[in-house]
Amino acid sequence: MWSVNMYIVFLIYLIILSAIDARKREFSMFFCIAGFLLAVICLWSRPDKEWLSILFGLIPGAMLLIVAVLTEEKIGIGDAVVALLIGLAYPFEKVFVAVMVAFLGAFLVSLVLIVLKKAGRKTQMAFVPFLTMGVLCAMIGDKVLYV
């Protein structure tokens, strides 16, 4: 029960961060530190402390971080840090689903905006809201599948 409550607290953190990222497309180091502390608490409250699962959960964020550095931040480092925090806070299965849903959501929104000529190939948009949507889908989707 404690871990479920912490997952919800972390999700609220992601929603707040999404609003900031959507509005400003950046956020302060304070939010990264707060997110790290929340992610560590989530990690400690998890009933399964399988280290291999924890390490696998960090892979998507690490890959985003590498892409951010190699592409001179076409994907922001902040987005990669948030993906790392999600990987620390949630089990690998949920992280994998969250990241896949985030990329799919970002792709679909980008496609619609390009088709409607509201955006071009170089248009930047916030990615944290898509990561948050992915986490929400991973949390809710798990419950829907087992009903």
pLDDT averaged over 10-residue windows placed end to end, the chain, 147 residues: 78 95 88 91 80 89 94 88 94 92 96 93 91 95 63
Domain boundaries, the chain: 2-145
pLDDT of residue 125: 92
pLDDT of residue 45: 83
pLDDT of residue 145: 57
pLDDT of residue 81: 94
Q: Which residues of 101-134 are buried (b: 16+ CB within 10 A; e: fewer)?
A: bbeebbeeeeeeeeeeeebeeeeeebbbbbbbbb
